[in-house]
Structure 1
């Protein structure tokens, strides 16, 4: 359920709501009209740039969510390649585990996406296969931190070296991990590098309204060099009103989302984010141990952050039937198609749900054992 909401406690929700409603009517597009809102937005972006180790040249923009952040990164890379390399029909090469938003953005931008199968046993991007898929029209490669299907980090350091060898833009999709992984690393977990301290990383998408724990919709698109924003900027003057300019794909933007992001980040601080990270990782460990203890089930390895998949390892146990039985018990089940399994994405609120979830899962396994395979409907397969 974490794909839809992220919850810590009632007090944090109160902070979100009070800050959001304080700027309920303000339009974040009007930064001259609302200078206090501009200040809040600048400080949120500065906090994101600092957390993700951007150099002094770094820049950012506040977006409505991960889809817009990814779209703007692709737009910037496309326009830069068009201006500097004359490429009119760009190609983007990425691992098959990358988010569908890259294909959606490519549809709007007139780009072609090449998805490279992930054949490694560790479920990470195959850097060699990505390199073999490059063409003279390739402008961008992508790595996830972590990927959404399996919750593992692509080898960003290797992808960065590949991008530098070929003069390509490397985008890191950290919509899930951007505001969680740095804190998990501080707890002592082995989180691989993915931030701007990795040579070759050009842009990062990181969602505030996921593990930044802020209100919807809030995300950042961050650049290694703010000078590249000239390729992101839309400018227009051919009307009576004069110049119109915007760095985002939106016009009007809700000021409440900016204010809530600022309030939450300052309210939580390092201690609060470490508390969230500790709760999530502790919950995952308890769930993984409990699921692996149920005969016929096994958690797919590896998994490195807040996402994992479990599946049936018993030929007589259909995981689709298990999922249906869990649904009848009131759980919202995320179904994985390849391999067939159940997909979990955790947030701090799940800490209190471990025991009832495991109890219902054990009962669902017994109910489903020996039943005929169940084919899920197409809508049930969407996340």
Structure 2
């Protein structure tokens, strides 16, 4: 052992011993062997870290269950490749396909089908009569939604509002928001719709947004935004997100589109709120986004958005609040004096909007309780810097500058133009 007083010698010991141990190995190894070993240990480190993060997020029992599911799926795929099984599956699929076709696309002597474009154009009277006939053939009536027997799917503001909406359709049906220089009124409408919705969600002065084709597109565009934001600002190339088990399936859909790993967190059995301790445990260096609902689709419960906001602030993450269903209900509960719940304090609404500093984006459907036509929603961001990552711009296209704010190019101005009348109407 070297003398204790020789501190430099002590500091040099690890290097000295490493040279003594690895020297002979390096001397007898080729550069290719060294490269192979380095690659092996690098991959071992990468996958060990991934396994640790997954175990930490899911827990041992849940991880074992995940492995069991993967193995089971693999075995099932192998079994289905057997000729006898393939024949049976084909037969059953044909039966199911025929059953679905009979239900959704009825055939028979009393059902008219139009499968080719007519050689001669039809009159307006003929077209209207054909629509009426089709409704009677398929529904036998105007539809069960008219009788108030349908939960969800249809959010109808009444016949008077419907007349206002169809008038707006007629006025702007040839317009296109992709060309705001040609249709400036449409651009003005979109900007004002976004401003109205930002205000009811208490956005700061920096708040911005975009009108989309519905809640799913709002959610998908938010995921695209956070993926690109994290890649640009944090260098994250394998993004992950954390969402409650009660979150809308559009989050899984968007994650599949943009290759984002999803950590699904269970919700409390009674409160139906996401487990914040579990959320915190799932956060790792690749996490880009937390998700909460106000309110969710499965049971109408609100997540602890304030708790999620605190986590998002602490770890520098995005927090998206899905208010697609809550939309114009939850935003007005507090102004209406209903945010404190009933006399016993049950059903109290917790903070969920931009007043929570950790909330960075919110989706709100105008086509639900805003009673605008189906196919309209608003995605809101706290800052224009974040929204910038939603846009696509191609300045080098041979057709000229191409830019669009969302998935669509040309957009549904007939739907967009009827949002504002729906919000203006006094009915």
TM-score (norm 2): 0.61
Count of residue pairs brought into register by the alignment: 269
**How many angstroms apart in 1 are the aligned matches of 2:159 and 2:404?**
36
Q: Could you tell me how far 1:120 is from its partner in structure 2?
A: 4.3
Asked whether the 8 Å contact 1:93–1:142 carries over to 2, the reply is yes
Q: Answer 1 or 2: which has greater helix percent.
A: 2
Q: Could you tell me how far 1:2 is from its partner in structure 2?
A: 4.4
Q: Tell me which moved more, 93-102 or 12-21.
A: 12-21
Residue number among 219, 233, 237 corresponding to 2:391 in the alignment: 233
Query: What CA deviation, in whole Å up to 9, does each residue of 1:176-231 have, x standing for no partner?
Result: 11222122333322222111011200000100001111012110000000122221
- 1:29 correspondence with 2:187: no
Asked whether the 8 Å contact 2:327–2:368 carries over to 1, the reply is no
Q: Could you tell me how far 1:30 is from its partner in structure 2?
A: 1.4
**How many angstroms apart in 2 are the aligned matches of 1:120 and 1:80?**
34
Q: 1:122 to 1:108 in 2, by over 3 A?
A: same
Alignment of 1:95-110 (within 5 A): 95-110=244-259
> Matched residue of 1:78: which SS?
helix
**How many angstroms apart in 1 are the aligned matches of 2:335 and 2:204?**
20
Q: 1:123 to 1:224 in 2, by over 3 A?
A: same
Residue number among 177, 194, 215 corresponding to 1:45 in the alignment: 194
Q: Could you tell me how far 1:154 is from its partner in structure 2?
A: 0.5
Residue number among 289, 297, 312 corresponding to 1:148 in the alignment: 297
- 1:250 correspondence with 2:399: no
Q: Tell me which moved more, 235-244 or 48-57.
A: 235-244
**How many angstroms apart in 1 are the aligned matches of 2:235 and 2:275?**
28
RMSD between superposed Cα atoms in Å = 1.2
- 1:114 correspondence with 2:272: no
Deviation >3 Å, runs of 4+: none
Larger-gyration structure (1/2): 2
User: In structure 2, what is the equivalent of residue 373 of structure 1?
Assistant: none
**How many angstroms apart in 2 are the aligned matches of 1:177 and 1:167?**
26
Asked whether the 8 Å contact 1:157–1:199 carries over to 2, the reply is no
- 1:193 correspondence with 2:351: yes
Asked whether the 8 Å contact 1:124–1:153 carries over to 2, the reply is yes
User: In structure 1, what is the equivalent of residue 375 of structure 2?
Assistant: 217
User: In structure 1, what is the equivalent of residue 136 of structure 2?
Assistant: none
**How many angstroms apart in 2 are the aligned matches of 1:49 and 1:41?**
12
Q: Answer 1 or 2: which has greater strand percent.
A: 1
Q: Could you tell me how far 1:21 is from its partner in structure 2?
A: 2.0
**How many angstroms apart in 1 are the aligned matches of 2:397 and 2:412?**
25
Unaligned runs of 5+ residues in structure 1 are: 273-383
Q: 1:123 to 1:172 in 2, by over 3 A?
A: same
